[in-house]
Chains A and B, each alone.
Chain A
Amino acid sequence: MSTVAAISTPDGVGGISVIRISGSEAIAIAANVFRGKISPEQMESHTCCYGKIIKDGKIIDDGVLTVFREPNSYTGENVAEISCHGGRFVTRQALRAVIQAGAEPAGAGEFTKRAFLNGKMSLTQAEAVMDVISAQGEQALNSAANIREGKLFRKVKEVSDGIVKLAASLDAWVDYPEEDLPEAEPEQLMFHVEHFVGSLEKLLEGYDKGRILRQGIDTVILGKTNVGKSTLMNCLVGYDRSIVTDVKGTTRDIVEESVRLGGLTLRLSDTAGLRETSDPVEKLGIDLARKKAENAQLIIAVLDGSQELDGQDRELLELIRGRKAVIAVNKSDLPVKPDIQKLREFSPYVAVISAKNDGGLEQLEKAVEEMFLDENFDPGADCYINERQKFCVEKSLTALKETLEGIRGGITPDCTAVSLEQAVGPLLDLTGERVSDTVVAQIFSDFCVGK
């Protein structure tokens, strides 16, 4: 494999940037661009050295070189890491120097791919690295780290081992008819299979929670016109994202933004105010808002607290009944008119806020956390699975449910054994214990540059 290099810290962020070089020539290439007290070729593994970074014979920066020798490195190959002084320009110059010296630019996810190929990490660990890189917020980072430590791996393995064991007991009974082995009772088989189904379904629940952590909560702000939806959005975002005017119907399309609220990320959509209108463009916007609301994970229903509820407000409240929603009673700087107790019939979460003055936002935060970070939601203890993993778990679940159906219908044990094996396969795909020729490609196409 060739020697590759990339900037492995976020582009232009932070005081220090790191250029990672990996491959058999990594250290020789580093020696070409880095002059320190000791020649990089002489450096022992896991040592670092201060020195100058050279490009075209000129010093472009000073920094620190760290050397890892194979196989004891992240990728399992020789690795050299040059830390330089951040800044987009300097860092790019340094990378260019490294490439001039013979390294190839690393492809997406290349370092992690090499680590996986060199047996340095399992498939689930490799995927978790990707999630760490793109993790939003502390909660997600914890959960991603758990997967990398092998937590998901262990949980899935528990189930797949269980299925293998059950299939093996069936096989033994079939293969040794003369050994007086206990008969495989359908009830008992079903009991075990149901247990596996339960475990996998729990993992699937983790998918939704995991998505919330990784990608944020799909949130839509709804309300009739001019109750302060855009003001609330701007207040959450921290700057004017939506155009705020006194003219009703200013927001016609959907404005989207990710914001942090407590430990969670909300993917906010501000929408057109709900009202009867003859303006075809505004009507389109309102339809879009309703549609958005149907698929959202969270609705923030904004009411104007200075006004009595009218028909449109009631319509909105009916819309959120039974959904995950916070009723934000805005304009708390003015006397609050609606009956808060009555509002709770539509959603238990009511926050009285003043979007204009950033007032009452903590109530909103508390409501959202209560809704999404329930008692069982412990990012330290649970693992949250991603899209590919979910696909594998679902495939396995389908096979297990077919197994159950088969046993109930009186199918013969040879078929039960086959459908059990059918359930194990996808789990082995998930953990990377079995490789089909497509799975590797599929995973690595998802990786972002760098690590």
Chain B
Amino acid sequence: MGLMGETGETLENYDVVVVGAGHAGVEAALACARLGVRTALFTISLDVIANMPCNPSIGGTAKGHLVREIDALGGEMGKAADRTFLQSRVLNRGKGPAVHSLRVQADRVRYHDYMKRAVESEKNLDLRQGEVTEVLADGKTVCGVRTRLGAEFSAKAVIIATGTYLKGRIHVGGNSYESGPDNVMPAGKLSESLAALGVELRRFKTGTPARVHRRSIDFSKLEEQHGDSSIIPFSFDQSGEKLENKVICYVAYTNSETHRVIRENIGRSAMYGGQIHGVGPRYCPSIEDKIMRFADKPRHQLFIEPMGLDTDEMYLQGMSTSLPEDVQIEFLRTIEGLENVEIMRSAYAIEYDCCDPTQLLPTLEFKEIKGLFGAGQFNGTSGYEEAAAQGLIAGINAAAAVKGGKPLVLDRASSYIGTLIDDLVTKGCTDPYRMMTSRSEYRLLLRQDNADMRLTPTGHEIGLISEERYQRFLAKKAAIEAELARIRKVSVSPGEEMASYLKSVGTEPITVGCKLWQLLKRPQTSYRGLGFADPERPELSDDVAEQVELTIKYEGYIDIQLRQVEAMRKLEKKLLPPDVDYSLIRGLRLEAAEKLNKIKPLNVGQASRISGVNPADVSVLLVWLGRKGG
């Protein structure tokens, strides 16, 4: 097939074309290029690369875990956040290491600048402004893309990462218009092309709060929120640069008056007024949703956060809404500290096309269309971190497909990334999917502090982690193991110093000698705190000490989880042939057979997680496999 531009000239040949340069597209394109395949990254506007059209923040519960996993595999998001953050905090400090969650307020413009520069400086990667309107295919195999200007580009793999741009439509009250986020031009025609290829599309919606002017806020009435004094970076690959907080954030609260205004105008909300047909995120509700659904809650919290160092725009976290502009200003002004608030950008809801992710393999390639991959919000998720994680995996697997290498599928016990993708392709989603720690059944294993221990070897094997970084990782691992072996032998005896330490942290004294690790198992004690009783202790970095402490302290619970993993992997090892017609298996219920035929699970473990496949069906599968001698 001849590849022709509008003027009849042949345009470029690529291995991989990535459509969309948001958080998914950027990671996908960087991964492909770094793995040595010739890659093009298309974006409607070069000025919105890695834009944060909603909250200018990276991380948070479970999302912080994702960022650290992305980093351990060799992705870019963590580094970008470390270089451009304004304020850094670890959330959930008191709730246990499994749920400690790093979250930073990021400078929206500088984050974009960083990522644009990262993409530009990658050899093997062409950054192109242009709207892709068509995916070209030879039968059911992808062979390139065509842009709005008529130019064609060949490609062996195409990654769709269109975010909320695809047939994007913004709603504010009763008004609506075609638009991408932040009033950027939407993408239109690509939907038809994808549908023609057999991709099932659906409408989802999401929303964002208003941005207001700093000078219109009375900060004297607001609670201040400072960053952590000691900052933990996202990236395990540290350059040694000093990390510091640059801004203060603020907390405010809605009140009964706010709620009254919203209730009285509820019919004018685009969502409640019926203008929006897309399904919104249950886990990230708009303020009118919160007020209607939790009517007995007297107040809701909101955070007022700067959008960047070079702007006076402030973000109102928690106040997403599709109410009309006049209602927005009215209810915001009922809030203490915001009595004179001025809106700079109004809140809006946005509807967009996305795919049903159960059409995807765990590699994020479409089952029925060879070479076509999906990533990010296009796959039905919400959130920058979820998008970046999928972009990275789609990129790795597209590159593997082009090079004929082994695909990367992470299982649920390895990572939140694996959990996210397994949920998407196995269970699908009926509303925008947000990552949460509760989605992982193995959360004591999948901590953010050990993401490098879990995934760096994989990143190195793929080729995204440099040899130098891998050697540093191995050294850290060896240091942890050596210290664990040493500390198991250390004995301590009761004494005045011991008694006063144990008392100071609020735990029982000891009356006879014991092993140091036994004391470290107590929730109240710490590795550093017990240093006085362990004179032989070597000089260790904080991250090594942390691993030693957590490994010992949570040993029992970690063992429980390891046993669960073992049980899961047993079912995961019972492979199901990809070509089986489940409607021919006697004893399977009709619904289950249909679901199994649609999802085509790789193994019984995955089959058991499909909604609509009940335990009885799973036993039928096991019996069937047993009879087959499988």
Contacts and interface: CB of A to CB of B under 8 A. Distances in A.
Contacts of A417: 438, 443
A429 to B, nearest CB: 9
Interface stretch (A46-54, A86-94, A267-275, A407-415): A407-415
B524 interface: yes
B614 A179 contact: no
Interface stretch (A114-122, A258-266, A301-309, A348-356): A114-122
A114 B620 CA distance: 9
A414 B96 contact: yes
Interface string A15-54: 0000000001000000000000000000000000000000
Contacts of B617: 119
B95 interface: yes
A118 B616 contact: yes
B623 to A, nearest CB: 7
B95 A418 contact: no
A179 B302 CA distance: 8
A415 B97 CA distance: 9
B437 A179 contact: no
B301 A179 contact: yes
A412 B97 contact: yes
B12 interface: no
B101 A177 contact: yes
A276 interface: no
A418 B524 contact: no
Contacts of A242: none
A411 B523 CA distance: 5
Given A414-B95, A414-B98, A415-B557, A171 B620 contact: no
A440 B438 contact: no
A366 interface: no
Contact of B438 (A171, A409, A415): A171
A117 B620 contact: yes
A433 B96 contact: no
A421 interface: yes
A307 B600 CA distance: 82
A415 B94 CA distance: 12
A1 interface: yes
A248 interface: no
Contacts of A1: 586-587
A116 B437 CA distance: 34
A247 B299 CA distance: 90
A433 B614 CA distance: 8
Interface in B582-624: 586-587, 589, 604, 608, 614-620, 622-623
A415 B96 contact: yes
Interface residues of A, number: 38
A171 B436 contact: yes
Nearest to A123: B615
Nearest to B605: A437
Given A171-B436, A436-B567, A114 B587 contact: yes
Interface in A44-75: none
A435 B62 contact: no
B99 A174 contact: yes
A171 B619 CA distance: 31
A234 interface: no
B318 A437 contact: no
B303 interface: yes
A410 B99 CA distance: 16
A117 B91 contact: no
B443 A432 contact: no
A140 B97 CA distance: 50
Interface in A170-199: 171-180
Interface in A424-448: 432-437, 440
A426 to B, nearest CB: 12
Contacts of B318: 178
Nearest to A180: B301
5 contacts: A175-B62, A412-B523, A418-B98, A422-B560, A437-B604
Interface of A: 1, 24, 114, 116-119, 123, 168, 171-180, 409-415, 417-419, 421-422, 432-437, 440
Query: Can you list the 6 inter-chain pairs with the closest CB atoms, starting with the nearest?
Result: A412-B96, A414-B96, A171-B438, A414-B98, A435-B615, A180-B301
Interface of B: 60-62, 91-92, 94-99, 101, 299-301, 303, 317-318, 436-438, 441, 443-444, 506-507, 522-524, 554, 557, 560-561, 567, 570-571, 574, 586-587, 589, 604, 608, 614-620, 622-623
